[in-house]
Amino acid sequence: MTLEDSVPTVDLPTLEQTAELAEIFHLMGDPSRLRIVLRCLHADVAVTDIAQSLGLSQSSVSHHLRLLRVARLLRAERRGKQVFYSAADHHVRGMLGDMVEHISEGKGGDT
Amino acid sequence: MTLEDSVPTVDLPTLEQTAELAEIFHLMGDPSRLRIVLRCLHADVAVTDIAQSLGLSQSSVSHHLRLLRVARLLRAERRGKQVFYSAADHHVRGMLGDMVEHISEGKGGDT
DNA sequence: CACATATATGAGCATATGATCATATATTAA
DNA sequence: TTAATATATGATCATATGCTCATATATGTG
């Protein structure tokens, strides 16, 4: 069984989809921002908590959070004085989860 | 069945793994580079072909290819005068494939 | 070798980016 | 209202990035 058999027709994403995908990758491409996303992937976390646990400034975290929120990767929910951030939806969790898995496996694989 | 049931213990990647992941995302975060990777995801493609089919300059493509090659996302194979690029391994194909799927689905989902 | 084709690379430049600092806004308590 | 805590945002700046142009290298042909 060749590779082509298991990958019959590989519809490449449209230019628009590619641009959208690139935007997501671009956001995840910054280490601080990626750590923030991962921190919020499976839990609601307040801004101060994120900053403290990752050793980043409140301002920096807030700036990053705005980008992630606008891009709909994270969602914000205010409770009292605090704002809790979490993954926007299961697609975000799925994407990142898959990536993390691949990275964990990776390291020595070839085709 | 709650979400937590299906995601028992979510070991976050190490700082090193996160940095590695961010580097990959960073590379994919440029639209031109992402298009190049997608073009090479399921086929060996020569540099000139990539440039022509994507409407990019040879120089620009070559610069991008070097980054992707060094990061081991793509591999190069010379055949005569031409150099053919393709996805380095099944992890790269898997990662991108998963991402493309999520993007294709996405669009309106929430948890 | 000389020449053409294919790819790679270095320099230079305009723009994008991430961090910090200062400050603004929001919420709650006294 | 005043004060304290939590978050957001605008300005500034040093650095990173992507592109182009020119040129170098590599392979094949006559």
pLDDT tens sequence across B66-104: 999 999 999 999 999 999 999 998 888 888 888 877 777
How does pLDDT run across A44-72, given as a tens digit for each residue? 999 999 999 999 999 999 999 999 999 99
Q: Return the structure tokens found at A53.
A: 């646990």
Is any Cβ of chain B less than 8 angstroms from the Cβ of A5?
Answer: no
Query: What residue is closest to C9 (Cα–C1')?
Result: B63
Residue type at B40 in one-letter notation: C
Determine whether the distance from the CB of A13 to the nearest atom of strand C is below 7 Å.
no
Min distance B54 CA to chain A CA atoms (Å): 10
Residues within 8 A of B (CB atoms), A 74-103 only: 87-91, 93-95, 97-100, 102-103
Contacts A–B by Cβ distance under 8 A: 132
pLDDT at A110: 39
Domain annotation for chain B: domains and CATH numbers: 16-103 (1.10.10.10)
**Is the CB of A99 less than 8 angstroms away from the CB of B94?**
no
Averaged confidence pLDDT in chain A: 86
How does pLDDT run across A18-37, given as a tens digit for each residue? 999 999 999 999 999 999 99
Q: Does position B11 have pLDDT exceeding 80, yes or no?
A: no
CA distance B111 to B100: 19
Judged by DSSP in three states, A75 sits in strand
Judged by DSSP in three states, B85 sits in strand
A49 close to A36: Cβ distance less than 8 angstroms: no
pLDDT at B106: 57
User: Å between A35 CA and D9 C1'?
Assistant: 22
